[in-house]
């Protein structure tokens, strides 16, 4: 039996997991105090501004140039993400090629995590976080009021996070329908489920970090409760099906 069939079969059983995780994610918004909600803070607004600015650029470049720009930056990040995950799995990269039309790496290690990493690992967002983290060792950004364009470093941080996250999401959505071998090699259905799950988990983690009312402990309690409720519904449905026979 081809491994892609097995993985697509596994993906079917991952759908309930995706459903419970999605329900729990949206349930987090009901736990936020409406008077002090995170979306009233400058972190959310500057993050949203970054998303909006990149979205305007993305669709504007498609309209004016016929394709989004900068493609080479995306391809470089895409292939570098492959390489990073190869190294994480203990492999070696023997060749790294990038051009505007595409790119590839040659490696002695391969699995679906390495293949799908660029679709759920927002490399440039992590670069922004790492850069600010390293700079904060030498400068306390919380005490700096204004810098470039009358914005504080923390405002720039969330602006750049929004722009780079939107960069990751827009190019991911743009590339998926193009028949990427990263997806087809391991089964398109399986790959899409994994990509959705990983992006959802990253977005959930980001929401919990920026919303002071939320905690990871509370999230896991809600997750277990939703999983238990879903299991009860499935068991009742199975019993009803057996009684109907």
**17 in a structural domain:** no
137 and 229 part of one domain? no
129 and 170 part of one domain? yes
Tell me what pLDDT residue 60 has.
Answer: 94
85 and 204 part of one domain? yes
Tell me what pLDDT residue 12 has.
Answer: 92
**27 in a structural domain:** no
92 and 154 part of one domain? yes
127 and 239 part of one domain? no
Domain span at residue 233 reads 217-245
**186 in a structural domain:** yes
**4 in a structural domain:** no
Q: What is the pLDDT of residues 38-47, one digit of tens each?
A: 666 777 888 8
Burial 75-108 (b: 16+ CB within 10 A, else e): bbbbbbbbbbbbeeeebebeeeebeeeebebebe
100 and 170 part of one domain? yes
Total structural domains in the chain?
2
163 and 231 part of one domain? no
90 and 185 part of one domain? yes
161 and 70 part of one domain? yes
153 and 195 part of one domain? yes
Tell me what pLDDT residue 25 has.
Answer: 92
Task: State yes or no: cis peptide before 70, omega within 30 of 0.
Answer: yes
Tell me what pLDDT residue 135 has.
Answer: 82
For the chain, which ranges sit under pLDDT 50?
none
Tell me what pLDDT residue 38 has.
Answer: 62
Tell me what pLDDT residue 212 has.
Answer: 74
Q: What is the pLDDT of residues 131-149, one digit of tens each?
A: 888 887 777 666 666 676 6
pTM for the whole thing? 0.85
């Amino acid at each position: 039996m081809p491994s892609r069939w097995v993985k697509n079969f596994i993906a079917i059983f991952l759908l309930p997991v995706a459903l419970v995780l999605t329900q729990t994610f949206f349930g987090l918004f009901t736990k936020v105090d409406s008077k002090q909600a995170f979306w009233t803070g400058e972190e959310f607004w500057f993050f949203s501004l970054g998303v909006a600015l990149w979205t305007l650029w993305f669709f504007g470049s498609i309209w004016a140039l016929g394709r989004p720009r900068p493609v080479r930056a995306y391809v470089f990040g895409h292939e570098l993400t492959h390489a990073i995950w190869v190294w994480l799995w203990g492999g070696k990269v023997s060749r790294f090629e990038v051009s505007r039309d595409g790119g590839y790496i040659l490696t002695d290690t391969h699995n679906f995590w390495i293949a799908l990493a660029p679709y759920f690992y927002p490399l440039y967002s992590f670069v922004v976080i790492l850069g600010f983290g390293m700079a904060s060792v030498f400068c306390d950004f919380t005490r700096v009021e204004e810098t470039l364009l009358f914005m504080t470093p923390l405002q720039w941080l969330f602006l750049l996070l929004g722009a780079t996250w939107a960069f990751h999401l827009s190019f991911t959505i743009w590339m998926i329908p193009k028949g990427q071998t990263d997806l087809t090699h391991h089964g398109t259905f399986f790959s899409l489920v994994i990509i959705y799950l990983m992006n959802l988990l990253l977005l959930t983690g980001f929401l919990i970090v920026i919303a002071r009312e939320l905690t990871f402990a509370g999230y896991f309690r809600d997750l277990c409760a939703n999983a238990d409720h879903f299991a009860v519904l499935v068991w009742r449905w199975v019993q009803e099906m057996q009684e109907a026979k």
